[in-house]
Amino acid sequence: MSGPRERLLYVPCIQRSPGKHDYLATVDVDPSSPTRLRVVHRLHVPNPRDELHHSGWDACSSCHCDPTVRRSHLVLPCLNSDRIYVVNVSEPREPRLAAVVEPEEMHAVDCGAPHTSHCLASGEIMISTMGNAEGDARGSFVLLDAKTFQFKGTWPKDDQTAPMGYDFWYQPYHNVMISTEWGAPKAFRTGFQLSHLQEGLYGRRLNVWDWEERVLKQSIDLGEDGKIPLEVRFLHDPKEAQGFVGCALSSSVFRFFKGESGEWEAEKVIQVRPKTVAGWALPEMPGLITDILISLDDRYLYFSNWLQGDIRQYDITDRAHPKLVGQVFVSGALVKGGPVTLVHDPEGREQPEKLTVKGVEVEGGPQMIQLSLDGKRLYLTTSLFSAWDAQFYPDMLEYGRPFRKGSVMLQIDVDTENGGLTVNPDFLVDFGQEPDGPVLAHEIRPKRKGTERDLPSLSEEIGENVVHEEDHENCRKDVKDGLKVVDAK
């Protein structure tokens, strides 16, 4: 695997204190820079209580063969306000606000709680939505023009919807898009409650869409072992008709694949077993898998257990039988000296120590993760969603009150030859020490090439070992046909 090294990281930072606004932090991670590991710019959004969450580029490898396309803007959907911001990063160290899609435009098509954004080869940006204007569950997708950022309406044919929404990824090579399900916004926005699960307000399905026809053609019920399927990842090789999805509450990973009949199927391939505890809300604590990604060479799968506190690395060269090859603990809800006592660990481990990096105790657990193109650096943050942070990690913040300690960003060093994960003791960005008070840092989006085009080629995006010459020769045809080569994340 190869590709340019990340120089800057863009990180949404959430502030829930009255009168304060979220912002996009620009973090310098260039090893040669005098400002390395510092926030060098903060772009505050103009509205309070938006809850910035994930971000996406205006262009990706689907558009690589169009010489006019530049990766110049970030799309920032807001979970609580139903608003979408577009940020110009053509001056990488000084992003500026370029456009805003207001909630009224979303509500006019009965969509809300926007989440994941991906570029399309058509010159559009597609964003998944999880609810309607009232906060009820409703899985749909909206479109923006990738040049003007004008709101264009919904993507599905005849305004068809899935029962719930969250993440999605498309693979036109197989004429398919797969979307996942978190839950009803009116449920998850108030924190996690078991009664909401029992009322059916959280999902457990993979929804399979016909990419060309834009219609929902199949729903795969993952059952009790697949509750709250969140992040979905196809393999990076666009000719592979399979991928993986992490199921948060069940703490499991399913492999999805195209069966012999042409229908899509799913099978559980990883299970993180719950730990018996005392002093917690329930007698057993799940791992709570909240993020998942695949290395560009399709060799390793990584995921974070936000509650149990570990990051895991699996060798997936045998797709149906992943093998655990790396694991490291990054605090979590089970640390020694905390309110929770470990009664029994089915894996035979002792209660982990709270992680300290550069003299700072890490609050929360590993949550969002981002892998460098060469696979050697895995970045992470510790905040999930402000309402859930307050519920499960009150030392990070107290809900409705100023944040107490905020979140951090760390780097995990990865052994790409034999497998293995190690916390880098010299890398820490402490968002608890921000000038305007502690904040919750969430997703990590790398900027790699300064003011250059920064649009990956096929070889950079999916790994040289799986790219063939005919793929490059047919690049323009692939773009025309809508080939999606999956981003690193």
Q: What is the pLDDT of residues 288-310, one digit of tens each?
A: 999 999 999 999 999 999 999 99
Q: What is the pLDDT of residues 199-249, one digit of tens each?
A: 999 999 999 999 999 999 999 999 999 999 999 999 999 899 999 999 999
* C-alpha dihedral sign at 315, 317, 227, 271: negative
Looking at 325-329, 440-444, 454-458, which range is the least confident one?
A: 454-458
* Predicted pLDDT of residue 17: 82
Q: What is the pLDDT of residues 310-346, one digit of tens each?
A: 999 999 999 999 999 999 999 999 999 999 999 999 9
* Predicted pLDDT of residue 59: 84
* Predicted pLDDT of residue 489: 55
Band of residue 274 on the pLDDT scale cut at 50, 70, 90: very high
Interval 441-456 mean pLDDT: 69
Helix (H, G, I), strand (E, B) or coil at 49: coil
Interval 177-201 mean pLDDT: 97
Helix (H, G, I), strand (E, B) or coil at 157: helix
- Residue 483's nearest CA partner among 68, 171, 122 is 171
* Predicted pLDDT of residue 402: 52
* Predicted pLDDT of residue 466: 34
Q: What angle do CA 43, 25, 454 make, to 5 degrees?
A: 95
* Predicted pLDDT of residue 60: 74
Q: Which residue has the higher pLDDT, 104 or 396?
A: 104
Interval 78-85 mean pLDDT: 98
CATH 2.130.10.10 is the classification of domain 8-451 = yes
* Predicted pLDDT of residue 450: 45
**CB-based burial of residue 391 (10 Å sphere; 0-12 exposed, 13-18 middle, 19+ buried)?**
middle
* Predicted pLDDT of residue 64: 57
Domain coordinates in residue numbering, the chain:
8-451
CA distance 297 to 180: 24
Q: Which residue has the higher pLDDT, 39 or 159?
A: 39
What DSSP assignment string belongs to 253-264?
EEEEEE-TTS-E
Mean pLDDT, the chain, rounded, equals: 90
